[in-house]
Amino acid sequence: MRAPAMSFSSSLSSFQLPVSAKHGEKQPLSAVSPRSQLGCGGATNDHRLKKNGCRCNCDKDGSAGCGGHGLGSILTKEMFEEMLPYRNDARCPAAGFYTYEAFEAAAKSFPAFATTGDDATRKREVAAFFGQTSHETNGARGWNAPGGPYAWGYCFNKQIKPKSDYRDLTNKQFPCFPGQKYYGRGPIQLTWNYNYGQFGAFIGQEKQLLENPDLLLTDATLCFQSALWFWMTPQWVKPSCHDVIVGAWTPSARDKAAGRAPGYGVITNIINGRECGLGRHAAGEDRIGFYKWYCDMFGVDYGDNLDCYNQNNFKK
């Protein structure tokens, strides 16, 4: 299956995209991922890499990833453009922001991303990452979008009309700064002060991001890094999205009792557990639809357990 070409009637040129829906919750992150999985945070800072003992000898030809086959062997620029054909449409608030080069640069900080397992596993991880993030940034909701419902991923880079400021005043480790709102930003719609603080600590900019979370909107590479950091990092009682999709997560007895089994559905539970245990619904179908769309592009099977309709939230 291939994304349609970018052609649509000029009668749509004045159409205004509907307001983006509220995006997923992001739970506090407490577990520290092993360096082998997260890689060298702040990869643009050579001094910090040496200080932290990181040795990322990434591909010299520009393909992302360290060691083995780089991300570029799985996701080419041409494929990236085909997957996100309308992201630069003038009706998208984030038009011109997300680029392949920025994603490629961000991925170099996470060498295990899309380099773990066989080719099918690696392609499936890219499909899952873009399936979830395209849902979070989808510009096709609420209108008859040209190209269909899965052609408008990455239309937004921030949450529109958030219903909350996402300020956890009880968190003293990553305190809220006066006047700042920690609503969703970036491909995975990073929310809450504790997530901005922990991602900031990972890249050596903790205070800066807490003082000004809009920094994510000034640098597409930083924005992609925030999404990949969330994807690669185990959270609280949750595994990382990466471990789930590459088959490295084994459900505990508690997980099994809650109906949580390996598959794309658990990734939805990690990103927005409030959507789980509710039976079939539109948001879940949209996440699955994007994932299948991208899997079809890569020519890989979907795997099992695609939804979380009968799973308990990890909080329960």
Give the CA radius of gyration of the chain.
Answer: 18
Outline where DSSP puts E strands in 182-294: none
Integer angstrom CA distances of residue 220 from 146, 149, 209 = 26, 24, 15
Indicate which residue of 78, 136, 206, 275 is catalytic: 136
User: Which amino acid is residue 286, in one-letter code?
Assistant: D
- The C-alpha atoms of residue 75 and residue 45 are separated, in whole angstroms, by 25
Our answer to whether residue 136 is catalytic in this structure is: yes
**Catalytic (active-site) positions:** 136
